[in-house]
């Protein structure tokens, strides 16, 4: 059976019109589907107003206890429930979840090495049976980027990684299509030319693109992640623009397809 696992990034979350259009498109996708949403900038804004400082190390947010409370309420409450209520109004029976709900995604607090990231989760286990039961009942799970550990802590979790872990976890019983929606139309041959989308990347070509410097910086962990998901049973990974969701999923003719 087919399952679409869709990840939507923070830039769309921050734009009410774009988000509404995206959720309408998501609601129109037939069959089994799961949404994972990023956080957006609103957590940083609310933390600021509450007098909580956002600490970043090497581009990553440090999640101390007060910041954990902010992301738990903003991602798990405000953003997640607004998405769910909006999907319900679009006739999509969504359910908002964090990893803690139904024991959906168990994680472990990241061990402190050179940097203490604080309450950040490294995923240990996806409870695919629980998620499958929701899908069987026609419910579309909507995940906030949060997990939990066995000690009862909520944990801040990278949404890309969470999407990939869910896709892998569900691939035993489903043919999983993992779609990363971001601001570009796909992986670009020329970073300056938004229309230079590479339609398909397989491992050999990926090595070529990396060697020639076409793919670099932030795109490398994204694609490494995609190939890792394919190794672990995910059928196809697509990287596309949020506006192209329906084309990418239904017709497979938008964005960049990552294939083994």
Residues that bind its own copies (CB under 8 A): 46, 49-51, 69, 72-78, 80-82, 84-90, 93-98, 100-103, 130, 133-134, 137, 139, 146, 148, 150-154
Q: 30: Cβ–Cβ under 8 A, 6 or more apart, which residues?
A: none
Q: What phi and psi, each to the nearest 5 degrees, are found at residue 99?
A: -60, -25
Q: What phi and psi, each to the nearest 5 degrees, are found at residue 63?
A: -105, 85
Q: Which is nearer to its own copies, 55 or 89 (CB)?
A: 89
Q: Which is nearer to its own copies, 127 or 196 (CB)?
A: 127
E strand or H helix at 3? strand 2-8
Closest CA relative to residue 157, chosen from 54, 23, 36, 48: 36
Shortest distance (Å) from residue 160 CB to its own copies = 21
Q: Which is nearer to its own copies, 69 or 243 (CB)?
A: 69
Q: 89: Cβ–Cβ under 8 A, 6 or more apart, which residues?
A: none
Radius of gyration of the chain measured on its C-alpha atoms: 18
Shortest distance (Å) from residue 133 CB to its own copies = 6
Task: Give, as one character, the DSSP assignment of residue 120.
Answer: B
Shortest distance (Å) from residue 162 CB to its own copies = 15
Q: Which is nearer to its own copies, 69 or 175 (CB)?
A: 69
Closest CA relative to residue 69, chosen from 46, 95, 100, 97: 46
Q: Which is nearer to its own copies, 23 or 187 (CB)?
A: 23
Instruction: Give the pairing type, strands 55-57 and 105-109.
Output: unpaired
Shortest distance (Å) from residue 67 CB to its own copies = 12
Shortest distance (Å) from residue 224 CB to its own copies = 30
């Amino acid at each position: 059976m087919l399952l679409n696992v869709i990840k939507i990034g923070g830039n769309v979350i921050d734009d009410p019109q774009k988000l509404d259009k995206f959720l309408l498109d998501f609601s129109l996708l037939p069959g089994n589907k799961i949404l994972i949403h990023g956080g957006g900038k609103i957590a940083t804004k609310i933390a600021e107003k509450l007098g909580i400082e956002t600490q970043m190390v090497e581009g990553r947010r440090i999640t101390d206890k007060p910041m954990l409370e902010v992301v738990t309420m903003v991602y798990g409450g405000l953003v997640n429930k607004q998405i769910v209520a909006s999907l319900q109004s679009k006739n999509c029976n969504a359910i908002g979840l964090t990893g803690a709900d139904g024991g959906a995604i168990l994680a472990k607090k990241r061990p402190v090495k050179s940097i203490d990231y604080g309450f950040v989760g490294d995923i240990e286990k996806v409870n695919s049976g629980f998620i499958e039961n929701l899908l069987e009942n026609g419910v579309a799970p909507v995940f906030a980027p949060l997990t939990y550990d066995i000690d009862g802590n909520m944990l801040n979790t990278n949404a890309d990684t969470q999407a990939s872990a869910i896709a892998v976890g569900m691939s035993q019983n489903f043919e999983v299509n993992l779609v990363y929606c971001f601001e570009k139309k796909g992986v670009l041959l020329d970073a300056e030319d938004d229309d230079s989308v590479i339609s398909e990347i397989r491992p050999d070509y990926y090595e070529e693109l990396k060697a020639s410097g076409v793919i670099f910086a932030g795109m490398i962990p994204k694609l490494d992640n995609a190939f890792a998901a394919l190794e672990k049973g995910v059928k196809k990974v697509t990287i596309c623009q949020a506006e192209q969701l329906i084309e990418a999923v239904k017709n497979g003719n938008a964005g960049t397809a990552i294939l083994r």
